[in-house]
């Protein structure tokens, strides 16, 4: 199992989308959850100050990851990647039987706003999601959190993820929508 590094900077994070699943032995998975619907299945992993969501419909697979930029990731079947350091707000689309649309937002907060947002995050993923507070002392009273919330429907899945970086008072938030268009 890989040793996980909890990033202290949002600007050190990158996004990648793959037309394949990612192997679990590449990561230290803190929390995982799977869901199954008639037309697809999905898995959600919290891997440090990062996440992996894998969406499978028939023989089509898409996996998104937000991870540290220095993490070695597979190059095979990588559809696209970008860094949050250069793209604090970005939109990414892809369609190959599974339609994928994602928006990303990297924001800084004042201390009170950061604490309020932490409460909002916990509430947002309470019923449908995974949530993990990391045991790292970065900023007293401000935890490092990764959370993945999801709303499954019969042919689609909406996912919101949150990654907090207390030393910067910043949060990366993603909104992804996966939809089964055709099977193969």
Half-sphere exposure of 163 (CA within 13 A, CB side): 29
Closest CA to 173 of 124, 111, 110, 126: 124
SS3 of the chain: helix, strand, coil, percent, to 5: 10, 55, 35
The tally of domains found in the chain comes to 1
User: Over the chain, what is the mean pLDDT?
Assistant: 88
Report DSSP letters for 5-68, one per residue. Answer: ---S-GGGEEEEEESSPPPGGGS--SEEEEEE-SS-EEEEEE-SS-EEEEEEETTEEEEEEEEE
Segment 67-88 mean pLDDT? 82
pLDDT confidence of 1, banded at 50, 70, 90? very low
**pTM of the full predicted structure?**
0.90
Q: Could you tell me if residue 18 is left (phi over 0), alpha (psi between -120 and 50 degrees) or otherwise beta?
A: beta
Residue 84 forms part of a structural domain: yes
Asked if the structure places residue 107 within a domain, the reply is yes
5 part of a folded domain: no
Average pLDDT, stretch 24-41? 95
- Distance of alpha carbon 55 from alpha carbon 40, whole angstroms: 7
User: Tens of pLDDT along 90-146?
Assistant: 677 788 889 999 888 889 999 999 999 999 999 989 889 999 998 766 667 788 999
In a domain, 2, yes or no: no
Q: Is residue 67 part of a domain?
A: yes
Q: Is residue 128 part of a domain?
A: yes
In a domain, 1, yes or no: no
Residue 146 lies in a domain: yes
Range of the domain at 148: 10-180
């Amino acid at each position: 199992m890989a040793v996980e590094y909890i990033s202290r900077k949002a600007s050190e994070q990158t996004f990648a989308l793959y037309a394949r699943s990612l192997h679990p032995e590449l990561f230290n998975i803190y929390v995982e959850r799977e869901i199954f619907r008639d037309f697809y299945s999905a898995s959600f992993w919290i891997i440090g100050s990062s996440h992996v969501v894998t969406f499978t419909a028939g023989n089509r697979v898409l996996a998104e990851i937000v991870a540290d930029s220095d993490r070695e990731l597979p190059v095979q079947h990588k559809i696209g990647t970008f860094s949050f350091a250069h793209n604090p707000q970005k939109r990414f689309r892809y369609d190959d039987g599974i339609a994928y649309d994602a928006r990303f937002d990297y924001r800084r907060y004042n201390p009170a706003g950061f604490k309020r947002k932490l409460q909002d995050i916990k509430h947002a993923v309470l019923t449908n999601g995974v949530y993990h507070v990391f045991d790292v002392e970065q900023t007293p009273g401000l935890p490092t959190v990764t959370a993945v919330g999801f709303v499954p429907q019969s042919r689609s899945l909406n996912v919101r993820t949150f990654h907090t970086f207390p030393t910067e008072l910043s949060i990366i938030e993603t909104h992804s929508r996966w939809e089964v268009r055709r099977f193969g």
